Structure 1
């Protein structure tokens, strides 16, 4: 499989290595200074760029009839527009806030825990996420996904980085040097606490998941998620 790599920072370089180890090749590499995108030889595109270029990257791949997956966060106000563009052009698109297998299992555990604990209002929810200082957006896309899944099965209406109202989930976003990613969901009451946690030890899991997703989507049409790739839920 020939891959167009849209974004060639730390993650892009790890994805390149993992893809080659799995027998694929990189036919095109773009960074923030690249003026023109080329998909002529690509079977699939992987976007790990920056929020300001992600939308153009994704639409350009769809316009070139190349399936595209994206792990870039911080642009999701355009997600509905992107999915509509994909469907209108009979394209293939997959977005994930996190491609790690462990995180996607963690997402499912979070959904189950949220639905179980929703009946007990004495428990007060908090989300904490910790990432490296080079991460441009806060909170992380993973933390937003976790919060949105909780909102679907609870009385919470929104999430916030500020002091929360009673119907808001407080997300505490921290930036610490060389932390690949940690996410903690905690429910605290006067009598006890319930907590689940995912800690990434390096970026290899993100890269492997992205390449597996690219392998999976290469011959498909539609809008997908990692739940489809991993057959979760």
Structure 2
């Protein structure tokens, strides 16, 4: 396949290495120094784009590719208030779009475990919280993965009415604490705490390779499909 990379930071470079190892061609590379290359991406030279960029540029990158009828796999976070517009563009252009806040197989299993635990915890008066730790280059907080975890918890626990990006004593809210530490690929801890005990589940990434591989697998899977998809579709979770 001919795959374009929109975003060429550490994640983009990790994805490029896996693409080459799996026999794919990197058709175009768009980075902060070459934004005009985005306009060159078309179905004639690119089968799928993999996009990992900053929150402020993600929507423009995604919508430009989709409008040009090029399928997109995106892992960018911090732009999801514009997701309905992306869905409209996908339908209008009959193209494929794949989004995940985290492409790690382990994290997506962790999402399901998190929802199951939240279902068991419903109505038992525990304070629920999340701590997410990432490298200092990650610009958005909380992480998209932490938000997905909080939303999964709220889907099972009607007593949790929202999340806040700080510690909180309000038992109706899920507190998310964001920490940025050099060279940490990604750690997420979900904790339920009461006066008598604490229950905790964790996911710790050891490198970016798991995220990069998941994005490449998503691009291979998306080729030739129309519609909006997620890791639940790819992994049949």
Tell me which interval the TM-score lies in, with the shorter structure as reference length.
over 0.9
Counterparts of 2:149 and 2:92, CA distance in 1: 29
When structure 1 is superposed on structure 2, of 15-24 and 88-97 the one drifting more is 88-97
Query: Structure 2: which 5+ runs fail to align?
Result: none
Asked if residue 126 in structure 1 is aligned to residue 129 in structure 2, the reply is: yes
Normalising by structure 2, report the TM-score.
0.94
**Distance 1:163-1:190 versus aligned 2 partners, 3 A rule:** closer
Partner of 1:70: 74
1:50-97 deviation per Cα after TM superposition (whole angstroms, max 9, x unaligned): 112111111111112111010011111111211122122212111110
Partner of 2:36: 35
Partner of 1:110: 114
Asked if residue 201 in structure 1 is aligned to residue 206 in structure 2, the reply is: yes
Number of residue equivalences: 231
The answer as to whether partners of 1:32 and 1:53 remain within 8 angstroms in 2 is no
Matches within 5 A, 1:1-233: 1-33=1-33, 34-37=35-38, 38-40=40-42, 41-121=45-125, 123-154=126-157, 155-164=159-168, 165-232=170-237
The answer as to whether partners of 2:29 and 2:37 remain within 8 angstroms in 1 is no
Over aligned residues, Cα RMSD in angstroms?
1.1
The answer as to whether partners of 1:32 and 1:49 remain within 8 angstroms in 2 is no
Aligned-partner SS, 1:162 = coil
Cα displacement (A) at 1:163: 4.7
Any runs of at least 4 consecutive aligned residues in structure 1 with deviations exceeding 2 A, and if so which? 162-166
The answer as to whether partners of 1:2 and 1:25 remain within 8 angstroms in 2 is yes
Counterparts of 2:212 and 2:166, CA distance in 1: 32
Normalising by structure 1, report the TM-score.
0.96
When structure 1 is superposed on structure 2, of 168-177 and 37-46 the one drifting more is 37-46
